[in-house]
Structure 1
């Protein structure tokens, strides 16, 4: 069994953050989104992993994620020169996949469910494909499946105007090697891409064994700022464990579940968890409210924030109004001019410098 993780694409919905980096490396609770998928796959017992990368961000993904040693995996990187569809990604990964069955995982998805029991069902029942589904209130925005009472998939359609159900395709699929023949039979869609939904529908049309399972825990697509903040909140709520490796002075107050990385120093700060603070940070005269993630090497002085994500190397100084629902990019600098505005709300890209007046 192998795995294929898709970590290409341009991440247009998360710009400006993704002008300078891969969307799959944007952190949730101070860990790249991509790594959650790798860890989930390895936990299911699959350690031979191919990662699809793009020319724009591939080198960054490789440098950040490495050869897989940190995860107990062996990672092979596969370049997709153009975003020509999910089925195209499978097609170019054929030399890596060979005739092995595999799990395909979209690298900007997060799910709560473990994959192990889905993998067991897929193997024991000798399926050609197993897809993950989740009821959604807006099925027109997703690939949608129609299934029978036994869980067999009858029909798939991509972003239908009149959905046959409210069951959206989650970005996780299990495939036998028969998927390659299906991909060879399909044609590009109207948008010029080889759609994985078309390939799965081709399997169905050829009477192959295609089933679906509904996931029960949370499913998060981190493609937009508010989705990213929601993912950060849910992961902090469900996964964070307190750990104090940094230095906290006697004037600071820490409550709730808070994780502080080594080399970080807090001076006269109030922190109310769940909050994660990375390594080598300097926080002084700050309030850090719930559902905030502060990455490594961040400087916060005279700042007040909650429900926000601050990326590596950012600096926020002298912001006395509370910053909420914000994402501040790597190495961004945010400071306040003498005359202060009444309310603040940001999405700030990497290397930005902003002065409020």
Structure 2
């Protein structure tokens, strides 16, 4: 189905800084097939928060780190869809979007494998003391300087806070790696889905007590913020590792810093932090038993390509009067404002 009416898409300004060279090919590809889709870079917005007037110049928004709240969504009449380049949407008030008749769509297919691979990479890097070994050679020393031996993962317990899209892929990939047990906690996961993955569902405290590698794979919300708390960290084995590739605020960073300094746990692998970029004076930088990455460990060539294609496909679907994949706020589908925007010809300007 072609797009016969003009459909203008605003590309959030941060793409030009944080993803330059990684999204343009997908836009060119889709525009070549559907010239009625028009993409334009949005003006710079302070703290990534466009005004309502800026947002309502577009039928769709391709968003990277855009902040959307009830203030800048109030009174919008034109905007129909926000397509998030990725899956995290903690900067977006989904209830306010729904009330405004605006759909939010994300890219679960694109991120599933890269983020799962990132978590597994950190598991191996932590267990084999990869960064420590690199620093020893870099400084001109040799293996006699190792502070201790690494550990094999065979027979260990792999745990996950969350059993959704990414965690499921991580467990599927890990099933042949020799873990003795795979466990998770997730109030929304079905027992049948867990059994299919070979995962045992346990309570949150038991997850912290029993995991040798505990991966954070849940979304950030009011209910999950700080879920990795001081009390929970105290339950972990001294030989265990914490891996976070989800969102920084899921972890109490001060408590984790204390845990690392005082050897409550063996170490951590972190791709995300409470404040990003990570401040130069952040105490966790000085912990000897942590591996740090700049929230880009999963940013592979394939992720950039597939995120761009999937997010553009979401926008194209709405322009053609269809529902996209990866819908977050499904309640909006029957909203009269959204239905009016979805009707054929509603994007004529």
The TM-score range, normalised by the shorter chain, is under 0.3
Provide TM-score, normalisation by structure 2.
0.26
Return the structure number with greater helix share: 2
Return the structure number with greater strand share: 1
